[in-house]
């Protein structure tokens, strides 16, 4: 009997400890607020602003000049004077071949030219003497004519020697491999000490011009009229593959002269200074072309928009710190900004974070931000139109 009393007392003690632990355990932060409890949210204001009309397309970065450097003469590659990946200037010496065989040919033709010039000078002196004797009737005219022909022959020989000497000097100059354009060199394809040939196809190194650089992209044929109407030098911006980080700003350079009947698109080319080398040849980028601008229109952050069975709606913050579900009409949008046609007014405060825990009439508490004040007097984040504001390619104005 004594053992049963001890077991019962032990169970009572364990039960009491378990109950206290359960009561003291903290609530999970992921639990939804109970009925009547305010939901913490972040908000942003609807406001008037300007919104650019953009064409959003994918493009490829292309170099204006991509040159495979090949030797113009056969010879032994003696020196490589560049570092792989280096930016070189037009006319800069990249590599040198052994110049001695070419210098020998230059010296040979220089000597031959001196020899033939001496013969020409002698022939001219003889011609002058013959002409003097002909004036005195001491020799016949045939001998003078023969000497004239000999002078012409020697003049032709000297002219040929000069051309041969110029060619030899040119071959000597070709032993210095120069950069034809300013650009970035790639990995060297041939090391010093190898014989190279003018007929080889793989080349010595590749040079790619990166400043300036172009981006080629295609737009639907139906939008070409919009581009033509907007005029020349349209502003163009390019973003990374995730369409988040801006890489460069430039302008439209050219429009192709025909529509691709296979894809129904027209190719366009934009140019960029690329001073910071943010654009790399053959890189895929997102291209935004501004073809117009809507001024003083009602703008709201994309983060506030929700889609349901009844269409697009937002949660508007009311003065009593509750939210109202309100349908809105979106005329156009991009990744950050929406142009609103109806449903909200200037100054309305919209919920942009915490939407998954809201319903019409739900109570909220606003998480304070530091840079603006909402319509209800609390500090809110004032959403300004982004520099990328424009037309989403999937949404028609």
Q: For helices 100-135 and 141-174, what crossing angle results, to 10°?
A: 160
Q: What average pLDDT does this structure show over 364-382?
A: 48
- Residue 109 is assigned to a structural domain of this protein: yes
Q: How far apart are CA 133 and CA 139, in angstroms?
A: 6
Q: Are 35 and 361 in contact (CB under 8 A)?
A: no
Q: What average pLDDT does this structure show over 111-115?
A: 96
What's the pTM? 0.62
Whole-number average pLDDT of the chain: 84
Q: What average pLDDT does this structure show over 31-54?
A: 79
Q: What is the CA radius of gyration of the chain?
A: 41
Q: What average pLDDT does this structure show over 221-247?
A: 88
Report residue 19: phi and psi, to 5°.
-65, -40
Dihedral over Cα of 277, 280, 285, 287: its sign: positive
Segment among 93-97, 248-252, 307-311 with least mean pLDDT = 307-311
Q: How far apart are CA 115 and CA 111, in angstroms?
A: 6
> Tokens 């009311």 identify what position?
318
Q: Are 99 and 168 in contact (CB under 8 A)?
A: no
pLDDT digits (tens, 9 = 90+) for 301-355: 999 999 988 799 999 999 999 999 999 999 887 668 888 989 999 999 999 998 8
- Residue 145 is assigned to a structural domain of this protein: yes
Q: Is the pLDDT of residue 217 over 60?
A: yes
What's 168's domain CATH number?
A: 1.10.287
| Per-residue model confidence (pLDDT) at position 39 | 87
Report residue 49: phi and psi, to 5°.
-170, -175
Question: Can you name the residues that pair with 185 across neighbouring β-strands?
Answer: 207
Q: Are 88 and 188 in contact (CB under 8 A)?
A: no
Greater model confidence, 52 or 340? 340
- Residue 115 is assigned to a structural domain of this protein: yes
> How large a percentage of the chain has pLDDT more than 70?
83
Question: Can you name the residues that pair with 255 across neighbouring β-strands?
Answer: 268
| Per-residue model confidence (pLDDT) at position 122 | 94
DSSP string for 371-394: S-B-TTSSB-BPPPPPTT----TT
Greater model confidence, 77 or 9? 77
Q: Are 127 and 207 in contact (CB under 8 A)?
A: no
Give the helix/strand (H/E) hosting 119. Answer: helix 100-135
**DSSP assignment, residue 367?**
P
Q: Are strands 213-220 and 235-239 parallel, antiparallel or unpaired?
A: unpaired
- Residue 54 is assigned to a structural domain of this protein: no
Report residue 367: phi and psi, to 5°.
-75, 125
Q: What average pLDDT does this structure show over 205-229?
A: 92
Q: Are 72 and 97 in contact (CB under 8 A)?
A: no
Q: Is the pLDDT of residue 95 over 90?
A: yes
Q: Averaging pLDDT over each range in 48-52, 73-77, 310-314, 362-366, which range is the top one?
A: 73-77
| Per-residue model confidence (pLDDT) at position 292 | 78
- Residue 114 is assigned to a structural domain of this protein: yes
Give me the number of domains the chain comprises: 1
- Residue 113 is assigned to a structural domain of this protein: yes
Range of the domain at 117: 99-174
Total residue length of the chain: 397
- Residue 351 is assigned to a structural domain of this protein: no
Q: Averaging pLDDT over each range in 11-20, 156-165, 285-294, which range is the top one?
A: 156-165
- Residue 371 is assigned to a structural domain of this protein: no
Q: Are strands 39-45 and 364-366 parallel, antiparallel or unpaired?
A: parallel
**292's tokens:** 């117009």
């Amino acid at each position: 009997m004594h053992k049963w009393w001890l077991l019962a007392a032990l169970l009572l003690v364990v039960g009491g400890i378990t109950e206290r632990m359960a009561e003291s355990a903290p609530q999970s932060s992921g639990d939804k607020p109970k009925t009547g409890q305010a939901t913490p949210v972040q908000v942003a204001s609807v406001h008037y602003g300007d919104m650019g009309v953009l064409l959003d397309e994918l493009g490829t970065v292309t170099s204006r000049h991509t040159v495979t450097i090949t030797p113009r003469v056969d010879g032994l590659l003696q020196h490589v004077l560049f570092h792989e990946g280096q930016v070189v200037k037009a006319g800069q010496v990249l590599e040198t071949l052994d110049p001695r065989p070419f210098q020998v040919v230059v010296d040979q033709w220089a000597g031959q030219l001196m020899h033939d010039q001496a013969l020409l000078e002698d022939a001219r002196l003889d011609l002058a003497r013959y002409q003097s004797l002909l004036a005195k009737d001491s020799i016949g005219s045939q001998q003078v004519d023969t000497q004239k022909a000999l002078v012409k022959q020697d003049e032709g020989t000297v002219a040929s020697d000069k051309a041969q000497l110029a060619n030899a000097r040119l071959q000597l100059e070709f032993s210095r491999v120069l950069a034809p354009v300013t650009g970035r060199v790639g990995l060297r394809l041939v090391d010093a000490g190898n014989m190279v040939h003018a007929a080889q196809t793989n080349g010595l190194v590749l040079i790619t011009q990166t400043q300036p650089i172009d981006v080629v992209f295609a737009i639907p044929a139906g939008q070409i009229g919009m581009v033509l109407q907007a005029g020349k030098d349209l502003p163009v911006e390019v973003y990374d593959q995730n369409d988040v980080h801006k890489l460069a700003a430039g302008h439209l350079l050219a429009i192709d002269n025909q529509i691709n009947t296979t894809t129904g698109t027209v190719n366009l080319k934009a140019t960029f200074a690329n001073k910071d080398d943010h654009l790399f040849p053959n890189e895929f980028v997102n291209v935004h072309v501004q073809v117009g601008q809507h001024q003083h229109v009602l703008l709201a952050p994309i983060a506030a928009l929700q889609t349901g069975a009844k269409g697009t709606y937002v949660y508007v913050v009311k003065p009593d710190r509750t939210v109202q579900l309100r349908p809105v009409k979106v005329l156009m949008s991009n990744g950050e900004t929406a142009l609103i046609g109806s449903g909200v007014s200037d100054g309305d405060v919209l919920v942009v974070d915490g939407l998954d825990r809201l319903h019409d009439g739900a109570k909220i508490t606003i998480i304070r931000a530091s840079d603006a004040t909402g319509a209800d007097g609390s500090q809110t984040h004032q959403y300004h139109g982004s520099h990328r504001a424009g037309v989403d390619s999937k949404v028609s104005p």
